[in-house]
Amino acid sequence: QAQLVESGGGLVQAGGSLSLSCAASGNIYSINAMRWYRQTPGKQREWVATLRDGSPTYADPAKGRFTISRDRAENTIYHLLMNNLKPEDTAVYLCNADVRMRRGGPLNTLWGQGTQVTVSS
């Protein structure tokens, strides 16, 4: 069964960096787009970044600080490098992907379980 698993979250001081990873598995034929979202209690899930066809796009809070990329060695692993972290970046970070399970098949949307990022002031 296809799934996404995030890793790399943790506790970091303001101004520090973290690199999150999202690993896709389960006989996925292709990944059309990979996105990162974040969620804090009581707030709507917030889009952070997308990588589609090699082109990244970012939400305003992430611009200039976060970088989304695909692993050069393993094309089913994606990263979110977060620099100059701020306390307001504290959230559960989730990856989301549009995938095909076979050539020409329909797009399916997958979500990971999330990884906690906590930024202390």
Q: CA-to-CA distance for 30 and 26, rounded, in angstroms? A: 11
Confidence of residue 15 (pLDDT cuts 50, 70, 90): very high
Give burial (CB, 10 Å; 0-12/13-18/19+) of 47. middle
pLDDT in tens, 41-81: 999 999 999 999 999 999 999 999 999 999 999 999 999 99
pLDDT-above-70 percentage for the chain: 100
